[in-house]
Amino acid sequence: MALYDQLMACVPTPVAALNRAVAVAEVEGPDVALAAVEGLGGDLARYHVFHAVRADLLRRLDRSAEAAEAYTAAIDRTDNAAERDFLERRRRALSPG
């Protein structure tokens, strides 16, 4: 976490904050990370990785319906076929709820 904190001090961009949130999820849990990610939505709403990260955090919190919506948003925002296939598999693997 210290390295991400240093990165944010040097380059406080929304993408750096998103990357830091991924690390926060591993250290402090997906609920804490999701709160950080939600605050970035306005800046990163068009960035598919934002939606993919959000989807994964929601999945980890067993919020399947919201995760499915976020996976769809990520799929809709990428032109990369491999990424789209990966995201579609993740969306299909969600448990109903």
User: What CATH number is given for 2-92 in this structure?
Assistant: 1.25.40.10
The number of beta carbons lying within 10 Å of the beta carbon of residue 89 is 10
Q: What is the pTM of this model?
A: 0.92
- Per-residue pLDDT reduced to its tens digit, 17-46: 999 999 999 999 999 999 999 999 888 999
Q: Is the pLDDT of residue 90 over 80?
A: yes
- Per-residue pLDDT reduced to its tens digit, 58-80: 999 999 999 999 999 999 999 99
Cα dist. 89→22, 30, 40, 71 in Å? Answer: 20, 21, 25, 10
DSSP string, 18-76: HHHHHHHHHHT-HHHHHHHHHTTHHHHTT-HHHHHHHHHHHHHTT-HHHHHHHHHHHHH
Domain locations along the chain: 2-92
